[in-house]
């Protein structure tokens, strides 16, 4: 269970501290007020739009990958093949086909753009 990025144990700790701070009689009143406020907030159109936008932003990278018909396992396999070819070229020619500055993220970005160009 996760609510406002607060897990179950964290929520339990907050409730325990609230019980100690407010006492058993006042915690009920505060609970009712908090429940009413949460209900109003969840019915608020602006809050619903914020939650929907947050979900869209969170799922946007997956949406791009799905639209491009890319799979991360394909990219990783392509990187492994390229690395093996690089090792083979190094052993045959005595030099590498890629410079040492070419890091993993640049290679992955290049592969994504290559696969996108192939799908278009």
- Residues 6-38 have pLDDT tens digits of 888 898 898 899 889 988 889 889 889 989 998
Domain locations along the chain: 1-40, 70-119
- 45-49 long-range contacts, CB within 8 A, separation 24+: none
Name which residue leads in pLDDT, 116 or 13. 13
Residue 116 is encoded by which pair of tokens? 């996108």
pLDDT tens for 83-107 read: 777 777 777 765 544 554 455 555 6
Go through the chain and tell me how many residues it has.
120
Q: pTM to 2 decimals? A: 0.40
pLDDT tens for 36-76 read: 998 998 899 998 899 899 889 988 888 887 777 766 666 66
Residue 82 binned pLDDT confidence (cut-offs 50, 70, 90): confident
Name which residue leads in pLDDT, 120 or 42. 42
């Amino acid at each position: 269970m996760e609510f406002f990025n607060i897990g179950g144990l964290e929520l339990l700790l907050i409730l325990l501290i609230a019980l100690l701070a407010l006492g058993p009689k006042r915690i009920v009143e505060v609970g009712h007020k908090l429940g009413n406020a949460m209900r109003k907030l969840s019915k608020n159109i602006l809050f619903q739009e914020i939650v929907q936008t947050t979900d869209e932003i969170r799922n946007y990278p997956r949406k791009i990958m799905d639209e491009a018909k890319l799979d991360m396992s394909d990219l990783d396999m392509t990187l492994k093949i390229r690395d093996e070819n690089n090792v083979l070229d190094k052993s045959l020619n005595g030099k590498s086909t890629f410079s040492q500055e070419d890091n993993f993220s640049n290679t992955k970005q290049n592969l994504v753009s290559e696969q996108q160009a192939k799908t278009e």
